[in-house]
Structure 1
Amino acid sequence: MPEPEPQPHPQPPRYDPLEPGDGEAIAPTGQGGQMDLALDEAESLERVIPPGPGNPREKARSLWSDAWHQLRRNPVFVLSSLLIVFLVLIAIWPSLIASGDPLQCDLAHSQEGSAPGHPFGYDTQGCDVYTRTVYGARASITVGVCATLGAALLGAFLGGLAGFFGSWGDALLSRVADIFFGIPVVLGGLVFLSVVTSDTVWPVVGFIVLLGWPQIARIGRGSVITAKQNDYVQAARALGASNARMLLRHVAPNAVAPVIVVATIALGTYIALEATLSFLGVGLRPPTVSWGIDISNAAPQIRNAPHMLLWPAGALSLTVLAFIMLGDAVRDALDPKLR
């Protein structure tokens, strides 16, 4: 008789914990919790989705990108920015919304109210109040922006050097700043600008820069002193980095945020200061068109023709409010303690 063929030894069922099936696989006896833990870990590794176009990994945001991310969602910042853009636009091109000449006047229409084509009425000299209000934005915003840039650059430069190097330069800057802080702004403007005969905006800009830089210098000095004590600055110093490299590459980028906040808020204050000095007769002078000049001319006639004062004063208040709101929004975005 032929011998029966040997049957192959049956293989145990293949166990694949990641392969879906009709039933659940059971861990072999004796493995216990170790096998379950290993299987769970393997399954979690299999489920990791590699980065790609559909699943980009979120990059770590810097201070500035994080601040911009917050500012875009702040309605105060959006509203103030739109208003400032509009004001800057009409300051550069006032003819976009005002076709008349601010210096063309007709005494026959003196102090008349609203009329077709002249929605704001006329002033004492018979000039169109609407046209003068639109053209007045140029002088006021020019003074505010130029004075802010000058005070911020000078104050940040001097304050940064004093805070970084310290020693006698720091003490000298502090004493000089104390002297300027003791000068009354309005009284100083009356004395300083009363001897200047120029009809341009630059004497007013120079005066505001002269009295505005100490505040920004003090803010910049304190910010630099705080930034230079950080570990990355000490590491750069240990690696032999020069003072100029540490100041420009490591300290200044991390100390400039408070200066930007203070300068943004101060811009609105400088515009109001220019209007105050022009109202007192020592700021901008005719034939320059300015809100402060128009407010000064309209003040004696406030009972007979209140529209002469209402519109330039309203434009001035709205502009100052827009810049202060912008500064507050920037401060909230750049200061981690206020988030």
Structure 2
Amino acid sequence: MPEPDPYQNPKEAIAPTGAGGAMDLAMSEAETLEGGGTGRPRSLWSDAWHQLRRNPVFLVSALLIAFLVLIAIWPQLLTSADPLRCDLSKSQEGSAPGHPFGYDTQGCDVYTRTVYGARASITVGVCATLGAALLGSLLGGLAGFFGGWWDALLSRIADVFFGIPVVLGGLVFLSVVTSSTVWPVVGFIVLLGWPQIARIARGSVITAKQNDYVQAARALGAGSGRMLLRHVGPNAVAPVIVVATIALGTYIALEATLSFLGVGLRPPTVSWGIDISNAAPQIRNAPHMLLWPAGALSVTVLAFIMLGDAVRDALDPKLR
């Protein structure tokens, strides 16, 4: 039987057929890193998804967030009661058949209001995150790519917004708003949230535009718009996604804080922050009024923060 030619089959030259041990494991791992044996290297996003699928923190947080989004869209899946229907004769009563969380001061079902409260909180968090991410990415990306006076102007404007205390700014800005919808709160959070995203996007774009492929595209005559959209932008968006995912949980907590202080969402809007504010004076007499909305808020914020941490670990090779 002729011996295998090492130049025709280098794998057999390195590790003969049937040989086990570390060399086989290394070859298998190399094929995995090349895209499951297809010979094509995985991109940043496919590699990140490969890591996320094996991260239990991501799986748990993603399932929990999916459940919260589902009940925010269709709260009727968990309850058929009206969160605004109250009975004063049952004020501050504990759990009862069909009402596991008891009643609040006005005699409203705490379970129903906790389920419906997810809609306002998640709506504010998602809309505020999208608005801040889009505005911050646009301004920060342009400043980092073009530099010059535009970069200096944006940096000074961002410094002004960074100097505004969030809670104090909310008390001043939202105290003059009479609307009971979520949009004034969303607008305020976007107004104070975009500088953080802009700073991250600016630094990421400055780093990406110094890569060799961007310099090669510039040498071949590619315009600024094409380089920004085709080469710099896709390779600079990962840090923005990470920061925005973590900030989403922070924005939900901020909405609850502003609603607790009486300047955020207002009745008849159902919100966890409103329910926590109403339950705080009665914490000794009826702790169940505070326990359930506060618990739902804490779990939601924790789920988004855990999701952001998992995405950060997957997109940053230094943290693996």
Q: CA deviation at 1:113?
A: 0.1
Residues 122 and 232 from structure 1, CA distance in 2 versus in 1: closer, same or farther, beyond 3 angstroms? same
Letter in 2 for 1:223: S
Question: Are positions 1:84 and 2:65 aligned together?
Answer: yes
What whole-Å deviation, never above 9, does each CA across 1:150-191 have from its counterpart, x for those lacking one? Answer: 000000000000000000000000000000000000000000
Letter in 2 for 1:327: G
Contact 2:137 2:240 in 1 (8 A): yes
Task: Identify which of 205, 214, 239 aligns with 2:186.
Answer: 205
Equivalent residue runs for 1:20-59 within 5 Å? 40-41=5-6, 44=9, 57-59=38-40
Q: Which runs of 5+ in 2 are unaligned?
A: 18-35
TM-score scaled by length of structure 1: 0.86
Equivalent residue runs for 1:69-148 within 5 Å? 69-148=50-129
Q: CA deviation at 1:41?
A: 3.4
- Which structure features the higher share of helix residues? 2
What whole-Å deviation, never above 9, does each CA across 1:79-122 have from its counterpart, x for those lacking one? Answer: 00000000000000000001100000000100000000000000
Residues 244 and 307 from structure 1, CA distance in 2 versus in 1: closer, same or farther, beyond 3 angstroms? same
Q: CA deviation at 1:42?
A: 7.0
What whole-Å deviation, never above 9, does each CA across 1:55-98 have from its counterpart, x for those lacking one? Answer: 95342100000000000000000000000000000000000001
- Match for residue 308 of structure 2? 327
Task: Identify which of 47, 50, 55 aligns with 1:66.
Answer: 47
Question: Are positions 1:253 and 2:234 aligned together?
Answer: yes
What secondary structure does 1:114 align onto?
coil
Give the aligned length. 299
Q: Distance in 2 between matches of 1:328 and 1:43?
A: 46
What whole-Å deviation, never above 9, does each CA across 1:207-250 have from its counterpart, x for those lacking one? Answer: 00000000000000000000000000000000000000000000
What whole-Å deviation, never above 9, does each CA across 1:268-316 have from its counterpart, x for those lacking one? Answer: 0000000000000000000000000000000000000000000000000
Q: Distance in 2 between matches of 1:43 and 1:62?
A: 29
- Match for residue 168 of structure 1? 149
Question: Are positions 1:228 and 2:193 aligned together?
Answer: no
What secondary structure does 1:41 align onto?
coil
Letter in 2 for 1:185: V
Q: CA deviation at 1:143?
A: 0.2
Letter in 2 for 1:319: T
Question: Are positions 1:312 and 2:293 aligned together?
Answer: yes
Residues 242 and 312 from structure 1, CA distance in 2 versus in 1: closer, same or farther, beyond 3 angstroms? same
Q: Distance in 1 between matches of 2:11 and 2:49?
A: 37
- Match for residue 2 of structure 2? 17
Q: Distance in 2 between matches of 1:61 and 1:47?
A: 25
Residues 311 and 247 from structure 1, CA distance in 2 versus in 1: closer, same or farther, beyond 3 angstroms? same
Q: Distance in 1 between matches of 2:244 and 2:9?
A: 52
Question: Are positions 1:182 and 2:167 aligned together?
Answer: no
State the Cα RMSD in Å: 1.7
